[in-house]
Amino acid sequence: ERERERLLEQALCCSERADIVFEFVGGARPFRGHSCVLAAMSEEYGGLFRSGMAEEREGVVGVPPGISVSSFRGFLEFMYLGRCGSECGKADGRELVILSEMYDVGGLREWLLEDGIGYESVCGAYEFGLVEEGDRSDVVDGCIRIVGEGLCG
């Protein structure tokens, strides 16, 4: 666990020991990453680094448009630690769902459904669950559960 935390700290502090640079739309590069950690947690990242694509050659991985710095920070926290902590709590849950879908990261979506939807975010989460892009019926069900607990609990 301590080693994972040390690697996460390297990534979030842009240590030269991390071999990947994450680039946001607009060119900002606030984080780095370790290709071995990312590939171990996500087959999608593994494919990027094995395929001979530009990401592997140049060591720069683009962050999807519309993803905030705080949400990507939370995503990296989950990727490195295998659990959500304070950074995930600060992230936009909708963006975490999108990232978990894009990179096929198990466990993150489950955390969001169990602990990530609160009374302050249930309306936005419900609206997000209704978007006709993929199956997000679990998000809608989680919102209904939260509201039911609030009204009846």
Please say if the pLDDT value at position 105 is more than 60: yes
Q: CA distances (Å), 58 to each of 19, 53, 65, 68, 125, in order? A: 10, 9, 20, 23, 36
Rg (CA), the chain: 16
User: Domains in the chain and their CATH numbers?
Assistant: 2-91 (3.30.710.10)
Q: For tokens 């955390």, what's the residue?
A: 111
The structure's pTM equals: 0.82
* Mean pLDDT, rounded, for 41-50: 90
Q: Which residue has the tokens 């990242």?
A: 45
pLDDT of 153 higher than 60? no
Q: At 55, is the pLDDT very low, low, confident or very high (cuts 50, 70, 90)?
A: low
- Mean pLDDT score of the chain, rounded to an integer? 88
- Residue 58: the pLDDT is 83
Q: Which residues contact 37 (CB under 8 A, 6 or more apart)?
A: 7, 79, 80
pLDDT confidence bin for 150, thresholds 50/70/90: confident
Structure confidence at residue 136 (pLDDT): 85
* Higher per-residue confidence, 121 vs 35: 35
Gap between the Cα atoms of 101 and 127, Å rounded: 17
Mean pLDDT, to the nearest integer, of 66-86?
94
Q: Given a cut of 80, is residue 17 above it in pLDDT?
A: yes
